[in-house]
Amino acid sequence: METDIKDQWTLNRLNFQGCWQGRGAWFGRDADDWLDLASPIRVMDPTTYDISFSDPDTGVWDGSGLFFAPGGQARYDISRSSYNTGGGCWQFQGAGGQSSLTPDPDRRRFGHEINLFHGRSRSMLVLIWEPVGTRWRLQLVGTVGFRCRMAPAPEPERPTFRTAEAMLAPLQGCSGVAETFRPQPGCIGQVSTPQPTVFIPDQFMRHERTAVTQAGLVFSVPEYLPEGSFQLEIGGLLGVGLFQQLSILFDANSRLSAWERRRFLTGTHKKSLLV
């Protein structure tokens, strides 16, 4: 079992350091108000995130080909002291991102950024709901299949699938490990001790919006956020034999209660992830 416990800032630095570049594809509502997940409304190619650290506690985030930033570019300083002041950032070893803690009409967006890593490959998914009348509707989906330009050798191609069922069915019954992280501002929060788990595809494909994307990603989310408790499911098969699943859990008050990350080894790669 792993004993080298790292805080959230250290995991953030280990996960994200690098010059990441890939094709960004953004999917939105068409003229008939249908969320078309096949034809992007905008392609940002390349999208580049250059994330460097001058020392273990400070760094710079420099991005281009960005969907939301003015002129498609942004640059800002990052540091341990300013990291995660709102409590919406989360890191596991090989997975990280940020989440809205609750649907807030004053903010006008309820969003999640999920990054799954495998070697020097990084697959990013962005999910954004916006208020429509009295309900929150899935409005925008963004994906980027990053490679690190600083990697010593090219990463193998990610597996591709036409449907979520084709990706997930072979994982039925696979053994893995589950870890939990709960929202907490700052860096000191710790990921729970890994526990055994088994993959059940039907528990992943729980929502009407279940789809595969570029970059080896799959997700299952509600088109309209329900009242009360719910959870979002995101997964990625980034390399042969390893599937990562991230569940984002909301309580009865629609407030984020936990991120759960599961890892499963498949086929001839099966072995214990607890050692």
pLDDT in tens, 217-239: 999 999 999 999 999 999 999 87
Both tokens assigned to 231: 């959870």
Q: Residues 64-70: what's their mean pLDDT? A: 97
What residues does 249 pair with on adjacent strands?
A: 231, 258
| Most confidently predicted of 33-42, 145-154, 263-272 | 33-42
With a CB cutoff of 8 Å and minimum separation 6, the contacts of 194 are 1, 2, 177, 178, 179, 273, 274
Task: Please report, for residues 113, 125, 211, 224, 272, the alpha-carbon distance to residue 35 in angstroms, rounded to integers and kept in the order given.
Answer: 19, 16, 12, 12, 40
* Measured distance CA(150)–CA(119) in Å, rounded: 12
User: What domains appear along the chain, each with residue ranges and CATH number?
Assistant: 8-269 (2.40.128.20)
**In the predicted model, what is the mean pLDDT of residues 124-131?**
98
Report strand pairing: 89-92 vs 121-132.
unpaired
Average pLDDT, rounded, for the chain:
93
* CA torsion through residues 133, 136, 138, 139, sign: positive
Query: pLDDT band at residue 3, thresholds of 50, 70 and 90?
Result: very low
Query: pLDDT value at position 275?
Result: 43
pLDDT at 268 over 80: no
Per-residue tokens: 67: 């969907």
pLDDT score recorded for residue 149: 95
pLDDT value for 220: 98
Instruction: State both tokens at 157.
Output: 């191609």
Distances (CA, A) of 91 to 40, 64, 87, 205: 29, 23, 12, 24
pLDDT, mean of residues 84-107 = 96
Residue 1: which pLDDT band, with cuts at 50, 70 and 90?
A: very low
Whether the predicted model's global pTM rises above the 0.85 cut: yes
Q: Tokens 């990706």 correspond to what residue?
A: 167
Continuous H helices in the chain: 8-16, 164-168, 201-204
Single-letter residue type at 268: T
Do you find a cis peptide bond into 103, omega within 30 degrees of 0?
A: no
Structural contact between residues 115 and 92, judged by C-beta atoms closer than 8 angstroms: no
For residues 109-130, average pLDDT: 96
Of 167, 154, 166, which is closest to residue 120 (Cα–Cα)? Answer: 154
Question: DSSP characters for 59-115?
Answer: EEEEEES-SSSGGGEEEEEEETTTTTTTS-EEEETTEEEEE-SS--TTT--EEEEEE
Check if the beta carbon of residue 95 is closer than 8 Å to that of residue 246. yes
Which range scores top for mean pLDDT: 2-16, 135-149, 231-245?
135-149
**Run of H or E residues at 41:** none
Tens of pLDDT, residue by residue over 4-23, are: 679 999 999 999 999 999 99
Quick one: average pLDDT of 99-128?
A: 96
pLDDT at position 75 is 98
Question: Which pLDDT does position 4 carry in this prediction?
Answer: 64
pLDDT at 190 over 80: yes
How much of the chain, in percent, has pLDDT values that exceed 90? 85
Name the residue among 264, 268, 270 with its Cα closest to residue 238. 264
